[in-house]
Chains A and B, each alone.
Chain A
Amino acid sequence: MARWRRRVRGAAALPEAVAALSRALPAAPSPETFRRAKFDRPEAAAALWSLLARVLSALPAPAVPASLGPEARWVKAALRAQGYQRRALWELPEDGSRGSRELLLALSWLLARGPLLEQLLAQTRVQLGDRMPAFQCELPARPGPAAPSVAPEGPLDVRLVQWLMGTLRLRWQGLMCSQQEHAALLSKIHMFTRGCHGDCSLHHLSVVETEALRDPESGRQLLQALESENARLEAAMHWRGSQLVYWQWLDTILDICPAGAPTPASPPACLPRIPKRGVDEWELLERDLQGLQEELREAAEPRRAAWEARVDGQGQGPQWSRSRQAVREAVSQALASLQQSWEEGGIPAQPLGPHRLVRSEDGMLSSQGLRATEVISLLRSQEACLEALLCQLQEQCRRELARLAGTLPGLVWIPAPGR
């Protein structure tokens, strides 16, 4: 009796788990889709193709270009980029008419591999606060020669290039202007709503909150968004608790799959195309590295020899060893800071997640979160690094141009006057 009751409970747990999963996923596919997929029914295929497309486009790198044609082809390429290797998936037709069982397996693979639901939920998170604008940009690993760009079709008029550069500069100026305006207006809102927030650690309202209070319609919409997000979060929690029975069910699906080697015997239909340019760049980089090593060796050896010669003349003794120790420490510190500035651009890893902008009175500093002054000084040091890099690159460009001009006989090179 007890065993029968347990089996019934077990049988009821699966639909609940699947229902929780489908509520937690974006675009909520119906639980029926999952059941149909087990039996590889064609009706479930379309829904699963779009669900996979939706899920894959929300994942972080590696990116697959969007212009790859039908959705099914894109999904295959994206799965391949994520590392999925089941051959049966490549063989599915690209019109999206079949393959629901394979798609279900692919989806479950993504689910099992990483925090998929958490990633998806973080993407569609309802923002209540004002966010700090993202300023991060990646420093190039090494200032090398500019990558050769795509050759233009036909002769290029330098006036067009100047025109486009000017457009870029003006657009950049306009962007800075809008950022300033945005900051000024945000500051006004924060000042005017001081003391209005229920939560004392947030001293004022954000734009979203102010708008919700001002306009009942947007308040309603905000409430709806929050409620639906809550529902998805609850579903995700429920799923977490009950997912074991889902994986057991998937085992049964794998059992009924036709026997096929999971690893591809033949390469899949769409391989990422390694452009020939990439190979050239690689060789260029290698040559650069070798050249740099040579340079370093040539520069370092005479200096080392000279230093050793000087040192040999010095006496030994405790004072000497102490000063040597101090020098060693200073050098290792300088090396460490240099390395850090190369690797991270001087910015320590910022805590994950969005930061809410909060304006507080002096003296009322909360313990958690970043202070604006810290962020500003970090950004300034990054700016200094980038400026130095820019100067270096410009100098390289100038030298390269002068060299090229030298190879053309009869060409008079007049560099533009600096501003």
Chain B
Amino acid sequence: MEKDLGKEIMEMREYYRKGNTKHVTWRRAQLKGLLSFLAEKEVEIFRVLNLDLGKNYVEAFRDEVGLLKKSLNLALKDLRTWMASKEAKLPSIALLSYAELVPEPLGLILVISSWNFPMGLSLEPLIGAIAAGNAVVIKPSELAPASSSLLANALPNYLDTQAIKVIEGGPAVGQQLLHHKWDKIFFTGSTKVGRIIMSEAAKNLTPVTLELGGKCPAILDSLSWSWDKEVAINRIIGAKYGSCAGQACISIDYLLVEKPFSSTVMELMKALIKKMYGDNPRESHSISRIINKHHFLRLKDLLTDQKVKDCIVYGGSMDEDSLFIEPTILVDPPLESAMMTEEIFGPLLPIITVRNFDVLLKHVWRERSLFLVLKIQGFFLGSWIRLKTVLILSIQGLNH
């Protein structure tokens, strides 16, 4: 199997070397092929996402298919501009000279994607790689097997299989692929595997793009208008439970609020969760399930510590058979607990209450190396100015 892989990759390289992927017509044809795939196979795509993750079809469109279509349309529209050489200004003394920046494809790209958005995270990088004129191998995650299968079986009907291939498999196949020389590796997943990928890439001086994660905090300022409060909480709920049940790299991991405001937040959250998901969230079919037993048990473990368990104020029920965890809120779990030191990646929302913003920002600033997204809810004149001032003060070290 390894020898076949090597041969396949060599053939791809030869095909690329002959210039088959360079021309704009080839690139457009592939991008249009992807659009056709998304249109013609939409029902299938919704089906496999539901199979792998229990994802509702509206969520699947909103978070994966719709975004892919948007990207494809943009790429098709702007491709020629992206491909064009751009003049580089030279000083007037350089008479009779002309300089330009010429975009050229890197060559053979390896895209390794994750299981939580198996379509989106496989195809979004593919769009970029094709637009840039490369040959591509995609290795979708084996943890979303139905999606991986669909990609492997259907894509060949829409794309040039001599330049774009889907290779299915788990860590063993991933390792084999990494032994070969690529011109770029694009990886979406955990920091642990990210390190392995970069170490392997170093052997061939292959540049990498690593889309990893972290504990994305949301800071919720004390809001006074009820409309603002509702919008803010809705957005927080949507980001936490509505996008693959919190199993997304940019999901809100935990929420920071000021103590006096925290009870309002909790009550509002409980009410709005009920409004969105009904009395029985599992029956609503609007929340994805946990990807597999391993992650389910990982999340269950986060709650085994009695000190953490005692902090649950809403939800908490888990069903191992259906791998379902209902939207759960905790208040002030201990900061040293696993819940607060590891990326949660699930529908458990810790609310950390702080006395005031100075303390809050010290915490946030200290942990800044872990952020992917910092959401500051509170774009309302008075409190925004206060928050901005505090941010500046904190940066200047006045955070006692």
Instruction: Please determine whether chains A and B interact with each other in the same assembly.
Output: no
* Interface residue ranges, B against A (CB under 8 Å): none
